[in-house]
């Protein structure tokens, strides 16, 4: 489904989510209770057929590297620590 099928409120939430704002930051910005934001976020995801902020960011035009910073899995892309960096106990 196209982003133009979102309500104005949903479109704003989608832009904030895709920009990397946390749920608590968005809820505070929009003066919404956290559970209400969760419901609205889920409605945005369902309307657009996405399952994550990363997918949402890509759909809304972010580059893959920009979208990757929104995903906890992006932490897995860090190179392994060198043996000398490991803490010895």
Across the chain, mean pLDDT equals 78
What pLDDT score does 44 carry? 94
What pLDDT score does 45 carry? 93
Where are the domains positioned within the chain?
7-68
What pLDDT score does 61 carry? 83
Overall average pLDDT of the 70-84 stretch: 46
DSSP string across the chain: --GGGS-HHHHHHHHHHHTT--HHHHHHHTT--HHHHHHHHHHHHHHHT--SHHHHHHHTT--HHHHHTT-GGGGGGSPPPPGGGSPP-
Give the architecture-level CATH label for domain 7-68.
Orthogonal Bundle (1.10)
Q: Where does the pLDDT of residue 71 fall: very low under 50, low under 70, confident under 90, or very high at 90 and above?
A: low
What pLDDT score does 75 carry? 36
Q: Is the dihedral of CA 45, 61, 75, 13 positive or negative?
A: negative
């Amino acid at each position: 489904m196209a982003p133009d099928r979102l309500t104005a409120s949903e479109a704003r939430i989608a832009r904030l989510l895709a920009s990397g704002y946390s749920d608590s930051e968005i809820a505070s910005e929009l003066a919404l209770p956290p559970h209400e934001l969760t419901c609205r976020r889920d409605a945005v995801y369902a309307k657009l057929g996405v399952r994550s902020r990363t997918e949402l960011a890509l759909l809304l035009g972010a580059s893959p590297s920009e979208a990757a910073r929104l995903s906890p899995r992006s932490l897995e892309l860090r190179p392994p620590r060198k043996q000398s960096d490991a803490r010895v106990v």
